[in-house]
């Protein structure tokens, strides 16, 4: 089977699906992956053929627009840029697409092949539109929202997509969900078109990292994702509050570890850490609550201390706290506050082990690949 995957040029969107893409290639499928050129090296090791376009998505050194309409416009403008490149690929048997990879759904209809969304975030549930009606009305009435919906409508019309804008973006014809079902709001009200496989933890990301032997203190891992990492205050608070009683591994992102000063014994810091390997040994994860990190914390059964920075992270943090997997301390996130939260999070280990079993029962990579094969083999005309 030839599958075209239309991604979004943001590591947080790409990482969750890499294990699935590699598995599909290993099963003998030809996969063509459309993404911005700066992420070629991230995707290529899966074995997929990478087709690039000049993405306009913000880089890790740039912040997303805070205005919702402006942020949505970025995804749309990037999709408009990606569509001609996508349509230049020879006709596949099915199209996979990221939640923001709108060009994938348009291309699927152009080719007359099935479209399968790969969702790295929670999905719509029955009644969600009514719950969000007031917010959506305000968004449409805002200058940025009006521009977004006008641009989207014109683009859909130009490409023969006879479908409402909200249905196009929010109701996929079929979907494989790469987050744990336990993080899905109102999961019992989600339609059957959504297959919850859960995290597709990529074995290729494992490095064999091990903590220094001989130190039996519990390990705390501190990482704030790939975009909103300029928080030396949080890193320093973790060092000051935890050093001595805990081993601490920090991923500092844009912050030079040297700027944190001399590190106490048992504290290590680098711009990037092998997250999956560290989580396997961690007792607590101090996290920004990005969906990828939230899912991986549950996969490894690690309690969290949540310091959300932006976008969907506050909602994710709330869900983790609600299901008993994490602590959500109030700001300021100073040394005493984070120390108390880490100590409390360790008491949630039994609960996170229960959740770990539930999450792994979702099937992960194998179930996701099975679903793609089944959904991708449907007759054409279902691309929506």
Task: Write a three-state SS string for the chain.
Answer: CEEEEECCCCHHHHHHHHHHHHHHHHCCCEEEEEEEHHHHHHHHHHCCEEEEECCCCCCCCCCCCCCHHHHHHHHHHHHHHHHHHHHCCCCCCEEEEECCCHHHHHHHHHHCCCEEEEECCCCCCCCHHHHCHHHHHHHHHCHHHHHHHHHHHHHHHHCCCCCCHHHHHHCCCCEEECCCHHHCCCHHHCCCCEEECCCCCCHHHCCCCCCCCCCCCCEEEEECCCCCCCCHHHHHHHHHHHECCEEEEEECCCCCHHHHCCCCCCEEEECCCCHHHHHHHCCEEEECCCHHHHHHHHHCCCCEEECCCCCCHHHHHHHHHHCCCEECCCCCCCHHHHHHHHHHHHCCHHHHHHHHHHHHCCCHHHHHHHHHHHHHCCCCCCCC
- 113 and 142 belong to one structural domain: yes
Cβ atoms within 10 A of the Cβ of 274, count? 16
Does 307 map to a domain? yes
Does 186 map to a domain? yes
Cβ atoms within 10 A of the Cβ of 101, count? 27
Total structural domains within the chain = 2
- 163 and 262 belong to one structural domain: no
- 57 and 143 belong to one structural domain: yes
User: At 60, which CATH number?
Assistant: 3.40.50.2000
- 356 and 367 belong to one structural domain: no
- What pLDDT was estimated at residue 227? 82
- 7 and 138 belong to one structural domain: yes
Task: Quote the pTM value.
Answer: 0.90
- 354 and 367 belong to one structural domain: no
- What pLDDT was estimated at residue 62? 63
Q: Which pair of structure tokens corresponds to residue 160?
A: 């023969």
Does 237 map to a domain? yes
Write out the chain's pLDDT in tens, 384 residues: 999 999 999 998 999 999 999 999 999 999 999 999 999 999 999 999 999 999 989 876 567 788 999 999 999 999 999 999 999 999 999 999 999 999 999 999 999 999 999 999 999 999 998 999 999 999 999 999 999 999 999 999 999 999 999 999 999 999 999 999 999 999 999 998 899 999 999 999 999 999 999 899 999 999 999 888 999 999 999 999 999 999 999 999 999 999 999 999 999 999 999 999 999 999 999 999 999 999 999 999 999 999 998 878 999 999 999 999 999 999 999 999 999 999 999 999 999 999 999 999 999 999 999 999 999 987 444 444
Q: Residue 170: which domain range?
A: 2-198+362-376
Q: Which pair of structure tokens corresponds to residue 51?
A: 């087709």
- 187 and 305 belong to one structural domain: no
Burial bucket for residue 130 (CB in 10 Å: 0-12, 13-18, 19+): exposed
Does 384 map to a domain? no
- 15 and 132 belong to one structural domain: yes
- What pLDDT was estimated at residue 148? 97
Distance of CA 43 to the CA centre of its chain: 15
Cβ atoms within 10 A of the Cβ of 259, count? 11
Does 383 map to a domain? no
Does 381 map to a domain? no
Q: Which pair of structure tokens corresponds to residue 256?
A: 């030079």
- 132 and 31 belong to one structural domain: yes
Left, alpha or beta for 311 (phi > 0: left; psi -120 to 50: alpha)? left
- 183 and 317 belong to one structural domain: no
- 170 and 214 belong to one structural domain: no
- 152 and 38 belong to one structural domain: yes
- What pLDDT was estimated at residue 60? 63
Does 382 map to a domain? no
Does 228 map to a domain? yes
């Amino acid at each position: 089977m030839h599958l075209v995957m239309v991604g979004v040029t943001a590591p947080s969107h790409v990482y969750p699906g890499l294990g699935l893409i590699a598995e599909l290639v290993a099963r003998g499928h030809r996969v063509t992956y459309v993404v911005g050129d700066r992420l070629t090296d991230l995707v290529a090791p899966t074995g997929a053929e990478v087709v690039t376009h000049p993405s306009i998505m913000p880089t890790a050194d740039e912040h997303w627009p805070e205005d919702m309409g402006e942020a949505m416009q970025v995804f749309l403008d990037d999709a408009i840029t990606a569509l001609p490149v996508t349509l230049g690929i020879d006709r596949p048997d099915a199209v996979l697409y990221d939640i923001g990879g709108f060009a994938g759904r348009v291309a699927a209809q152009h080719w007359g092949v099935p479209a399968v969304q790969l969702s790295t975030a929670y999905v719509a549930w029955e009644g969600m539109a009514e719950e969000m009606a007031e917010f959506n009305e305000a968004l449409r009435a805002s200058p940025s929202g009006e521009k977004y919906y006008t641009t989207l409508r014109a683009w859909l019309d130009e490409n023969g997509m006879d479908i409402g804008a909200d249905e196009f973006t929010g109701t996929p014809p079929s979907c494989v969900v790469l987050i744990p079902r336990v993080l899905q709001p109102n999961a019992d009200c989600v339609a059957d078109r959504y297959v919850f496989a859960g995290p597709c933890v990529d074995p290729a990301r494992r490095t064999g990292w091990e903590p220094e032997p001989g130190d039996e203190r519990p390990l705390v891992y501190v990482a704030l994702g790939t975009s909103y990492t300029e928080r030396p205050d949080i890193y320093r608070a973790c060092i000051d509050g935890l050093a001595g009683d805990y081993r601490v591994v920090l991923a500092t992102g844009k912050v030079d570890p040297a700027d944190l000063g001399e590190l106490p014994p048992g504290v290590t810091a680098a711009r990037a850490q092998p997250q999956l390997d560290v989580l396997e040994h961690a007792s607590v994860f101090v996290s920004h609550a990005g969906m990828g990190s939230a899912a991986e914390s549950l996969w490894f059964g690690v309690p969290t201390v949540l310091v959300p920075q932006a976008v969907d992270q506050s909602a994710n943090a709330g869900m983790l706290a609600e299901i008993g997997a994490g602590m959500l301390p109030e700001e300021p996130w100073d040394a005493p506050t984070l120390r108390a939260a880490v100590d409390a999070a360790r008491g949630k280990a039994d609960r996170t082990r229960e959740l770990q079993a539930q999450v792994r029962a979702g099937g992960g990579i194998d179930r996701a690949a099975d679903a793609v094969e089944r959904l991708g083999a449907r007759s054409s005309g279902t691309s929506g």
